[in-house]
Structure 1
Amino acid sequence: MINTFFNSGSLDTPASFIVSLIIGIAFGAVLERAGFGSSRRLSGIFYFRDMAVLKVMFTAVIVSMLGISFAKAFGWVTVENVFFLNTIYAAQILGGLIFGVGFVMSGWCPGTGAVGLASGRIDALVFLIGAVIGGMVYNEAYPLMSKLQTPDQGILFVYDSLGVSEGSFGFVMILIALGCFWGAEYIEKNQGLDSQWGKKFLKIFSVVLIGGGVGLLAIPGNQANSGHDAVIPLSENKVLEDIHTGKDHIEPQELADRLIAGDQSIKLVDIRTAEEFNRFHLRSASNIQLVDLVKTLEPKKDKGLIILYSNGMTHPAQARDSMFRSGFNNVYFLTDGLEGFLNSCLKPVSLRSEPVPPLMATKINAWRAYFLEPVTSTANASKPPTSQEDVSSVPLNLPGIVDTEWLNENLEKPEIKIIDLRSQPEYNSGHIPGSLSLNLESFRGLVQGNPSCLLPQSMLSDHFSMMGISPDDMLVIVCTEKFQDATLIGMACERLQHERYAILRGGFPKWKTENRPQNTILPQVTPSKYPVPNQPDTFTAEAGDVLALIGKPRSIIIDVRPEDYFTGKKKDEARGGHIPGAINLPFSEDIEKFESFSAFKPVNDLENRYKKVSLDKATPIIVHCRTGHQASQTYFILVRLLGYTNIKWYDAGWTEWAAKQQLPVE
């Protein structure tokens, strides 16, 4: 079976781009060859002078229809391998009318306009400029037209709506096409144009098409169905089919194997409450509430696999079916939920009631090594996942926080890399054994004229390589009481898509207070070759992004600087004050001080603080400070501790905003 780029979720890969480019060039060449580089010839159809448009378009429709139908019959593709637009009749009918009017007025459509522009047609350029302007107008008028989106009936084919078989409908379409072909040739003959009327080619072509239509009728399952009292919409039919064939869920052991293998096509989603998620979740999972699923996962629609899980199966199964009706064809739920995963994959061999074969025992130990880590003492909880299991360890919620006890127990593990952010004299005087000294400012520099910005991916990967860090390493970041130092290094990890990192709770002061081991030995470092990600990060906001958010409903700008700088009472940049509409939530209020060290406040306290200003965890939020340093702490809390899903970080911050006089200030 052909595994398409669409079905495999790899539409954004270089191979997909190259194939698309080749197809696009071939498509343009065919249109040019057919004469579609001339609006005069294109508009000829409306005056019955030149019927090339009708013949080319009908040929494309019929060939595509026959190709997909026979490919399905031979088992080369399935419906899931091909992208189909959802059926929204009102919007599609209106869109067709607008398209038709535009075609009549200009003689161009977007595809032929591009061909015409490549041929040097000035009117094609005018049309494309008009199309861009029209798109902008549509974007502004969208709130008035959004009602046309409903009812969305999922993917519904015309023959399903009519209650006829696919083969019968295809055969009728071929007859209609043949009538149009013969009529077009007759019109062109009467116009004195070169015509196939009465020639051998048209007769052979007609026989071939009729043969294809008969073939459609002969395909098993395509014969006419008599006695249909009702036709189930394709979306509902597909839901029932997937349930029957088991294509709506994934087994725990298969999921465990694919995650360990590093399957990048999987988007794992935990739909439980934030409190349950923070207490324990499967590695690499994101926490998204039910009401936010469709909105938050829209960028992942039909890309790779989206796997939903909760404690059981009821809610994920219902959510999966709902998302399918919303056009998501790539959503699955975890069989038996989290409890089933724990029992099937993570329950120790010694506690199982039945004998475990050696090979399975090896797999179970591998799963436990991957998903479970020695106990962490984060602010939210540290209890085993289920009371009936004698599990002495719980998974690390990465990125997140680890306690000094956990680090002390894991110092000897080679995959643990400790990064010490204190000053070099402090580090040289005594540090956690094996830790690497890092000057925070070596990760920042001048970027696009803005000082103290986080360096680009290529430079950060060079730093990681010199430090001997590999993508599979677990990084533990150690600071003093300035946790914004640790979270800024966390932003470097985020930019490199390195999610295996954590911040040491209480930093070095807590480690020292507890009299844990120190030495003055400089560790041996073997340089690595840390890969540069293929895609830029998606969380860094520019000034234009912030400007676009000002005054936008259901959107928030959070300024985390101290209050005096927010109000303008104090200033250390070109102008004082703040971005219009911004909310002041000083970063320092997320930290609590103990007698000998500081730490992040408990998750419940942080949850309550940010709940007061955000509508929900999918609310668009941009966080900023002066240079991105303090705001990195707020980003870490919102995204990694509280599970917010739509947060951006304005790195250039008030330094850039205050310096650009054209940007508004309050």
Structure 2
Amino acid sequence: MNQTGDTQEALVSCGWLASRLDDSKVRVIEVSSANDDAKYRAGHIPGASWWFWKDALWHATDREFITPEQLARRLGSMGISPTDTVVIYGDPVQHGTYAFWVLTMAGHKNLRLLDGGRKRWIAEGRPLSQQPPDASPVAYTPGTADFTSRVGRDDVRAKLGQPGRRLLDVRAPEEYRGERVSPPSGDLRFDFDHGAERTGRIPGATHLFFRAMVNEDDTFLSPEKLGDILDQAVSAADGSTELVTYCRLSHRATLAWFAIKFLLGRENVLVYDGSWTEWGSIVGFPIEKD
């Protein structure tokens, strides 16, 4: 695999962010899987704003992503300009890469992902704040939409089994084998198995569990280790092979997309955002199971 130590400045460390917390041109956003901000209010990285992922990143009615115009209104209302550096972290980690991907498609160019997010920040003994940022609205001219990293169900189906493309299923092993449609929660009180009409996987997909790409503290593995893991998953794929990542809702798929694109330097990686929630529910679409 093509490996590179150059992250194109997309991935930044907690130390990098800590040294820039007083920079008014660096803005931080915490993206949460929970629809309440209790954890954020209890303590967050100083200066960070809070987003519930669905409200911030999806169209209100169309189950589509926000447009450049909608993003411009949202960021502008937060006092963020098109030239500001936006640093994103997720709670959990994959919601950070998901927001990074969506904002890329919606046209904000100056993005960074905080390596390790909240978990690493706390592990390093860095301070938390209970104060939300205070910023005045600014004018934000919408950027240009860029959907070149997104692929839809019809394209995926049309190219099943064709040379030059490989599918990476980054869900939990139980999901990949067809035992579940959603990841196990680890808590039987909340272990709901829902999200698609059928269990299974897209035919021909190779398994690469997304958590294998990050450490326990949510920091990414080194490019060398990531390259080895990807080689094991798609050993016959050279640098010209197009890689398509998917999971259940595409959050985990974007973590693999980020690692492959920005840490391994591969341009030909796409996200199938419909993922298993869509594919597993469409009448007549083929599936595999163990």
Task: Report deviation, 1:522.
Answer: 2.2
Structure 1 residues 446 and 578: alpha-carbon distance in aligned structure 2, compared to 1, 3 A threshold: farther
Q: 1:563-604 CA deviation, whole Å, 9 max, x = no partner?
A: 2112211233111111111111111211211xxx33211211
Task: Report deviation, 1:448.
Answer: 9.1
State the alpha-carbon separation in 2 of the partners of residues 561 and 488 from structure 1: 15
Trace 1:303-318 onto structure 2 (pairs within 5 A): none
Structure 1 residue aligned with 2:250, among 628, 639, 652? 628
State the alpha-carbon separation in 2 of the partners of residues 502 and 536 from structure 1: 17
State the alpha-carbon separation in 1 of the partners of residues 212 and 230 from structure 2: 11
Structure 1 residue aligned with 2:220, among 592, 600, 606? 600
Larger Cα-atom Rg: 1
Aligned partner of 1:525 in structure 2 is 135
Aligned partner of 1:582 in structure 2 is 205
Contact 2:245 2:269 survives alignment (8 Å): yes
Trace 1:38-57 onto structure 2 (pairs within 5 A): none
Structure 1 residue aligned with 2:84, among 458, 463, 473? 473
Structure 1 residues 535 and 434: alpha-carbon distance in aligned structure 2, compared to 1, 3 A threshold: closer
- In the alignment, does 2:64 pair up with 1:439? no
State the alpha-carbon separation in 2 of the partners of residues 456 and 470 from structure 1: 16
Partner amino acid, structure 1, of 2:45: I
State the alpha-carbon separation in 1 of the partners of residues 116 and 101 from structure 2: 19
Matched residue pairs, number? Answer: 269
Give every structure 1 segment of 4 or more consecutive aligned residues whose post-TM-superposition deviation is greater than 4 Å. Answer: 446-449
Structure 1 residue aligned with 2:118, among 508, 528, 533? 508
Contact 1:549 1:556 survives alignment (8 Å): no
Trace 1:364-375 onto structure 2 (pairs within 5 A): none
Aligned partner of 2:166 in structure 1 is 556
Trace 1:415-454 onto structure 2 (pairs within 5 A): 415-422=25-32, 424-445=37-58, 451=63, 454=65
Aligned partner of 1:546 in structure 2 is 156
Aligned residue for 1:274, secondary structure, equals coil
Contact 1:617 1:643 survives alignment (8 Å): no
Aligned partner of 2:104 in structure 1 is 494
What TM-score, normalized by structure 2, do the two folds share? 0.84
Task: Report deviation, 1:634.
Answer: 0.8
- In the alignment, does 2:218 pair up with 1:610? no
State the alpha-carbon separation in 2 of the partners of residues 510 and 623 from structure 1: 26
Aligned residue for 1:475, secondary structure, equals strand
Trace 1:208-357 onto structure 2 (pairs within 5 A): 274-275=3-4, 278-279=5-6
Aligned residue for 1:437, secondary structure, equals strand
State the alpha-carbon separation in 1 of the partners of residues 60 and 158 from structure 2: 22
State the alpha-carbon separation in 2 of the partners of residues 535 and 413 from structure 1: 28
RMSD: 2.3
State the alpha-carbon separation in 2 of the partners of residues 501 and 446 from structure 1: 21
Partner amino acid, structure 2, of 1:428: R
State the alpha-carbon separation in 1 of the partners of residues 59 and 80 from structure 2: 24
Q: 1:325-359 CA deviation, whole Å, 9 max, x = no partner?
A: xxxxxxxxxxxxxxxxxxxxxxxxxxxxxxxxxxx
Q: 1:26-69 CA deviation, whole Å, 9 max, x = no partner?
A: xxxxxxxxxxxxxxxxxxxxxxxxxxxxxxxxxxxxxxxxxxxx
Aligned partner of 2:8 in structure 1 is 397
Query: Comparing both structures, which one devotes a greater share of its residues to helix?
Result: 1
Task: Report deviation, 1:435.
Answer: 1.4
State the alpha-carbon separation in 2 of the partners of residues 274 and 649 from structure 1: 20
State the alpha-carbon separation in 1 of the partners of residues 127 and 59 from structure 2: 38
Contact 2:57 2:102 survives alignment (8 Å): no
Task: Report deviation, 1:446.
Answer: 6.4
State the alpha-carbon separation in 2 of the partners of residues 407 and 446 from structure 1: 30
State the alpha-carbon separation in 1 of the partners of residues 237 and 218 from structure 2: 30
Task: Report deviation, 1:546.
Answer: 0.3
State the alpha-carbon separation in 1 of the partners of residues 116 and 242 from structure 2: 31
Contact 2:90 2:97 survives alignment (8 Å): no
Task: Report deviation, 1:274.
Answer: 3.3
Contact 1:443 1:454 survives alignment (8 Å): no
Contact 1:454 1:651 survives alignment (8 Å): no
Q: 1:425-482 CA deviation, whole Å, 9 max, x = no partner?
A: 1221222222111112213446996x5x5333333333222222222111111234x2
Aligned residue for 2:253, secondary structure, equals helix
Aligned residue for 2:200, secondary structure, equals coil
Partner amino acid, structure 2, of 1:644: R
Contact 1:430 1:520 survives alignment (8 Å): yes
The gaps in structure 2 that reach 5 residues or longer are 182-193
State the alpha-carbon separation in 2 of the partners of residues 565 and 509 from structure 1: 26
Structure 1 residues 501 and 484: alpha-carbon distance in aligned structure 2, compared to 1, 3 A threshold: same
Q: 1:353-375 CA deviation, whole Å, 9 max, x = no partner?
A: xxxxxxxxxxxxxxxxxxxxxxx
- In the alignment, does 2:96 pair up with 1:483? no
State the alpha-carbon separation in 1 of the partners of residues 274 and 42 from structure 2: 34
Q: 1:635-663 CA deviation, whole Å, 9 max, x = no partner?
A: 11111111111111111111111221121
The gaps in structure 1 that reach 5 residues or longer are 1-272, 280-395
Task: Report deviation, 1:627.
Answer: 1.1
Aligned residue for 2:9, secondary structure, equals coil
State the alpha-carbon separation in 2 of the partners of residues 509 and 551 from structure 1: 39
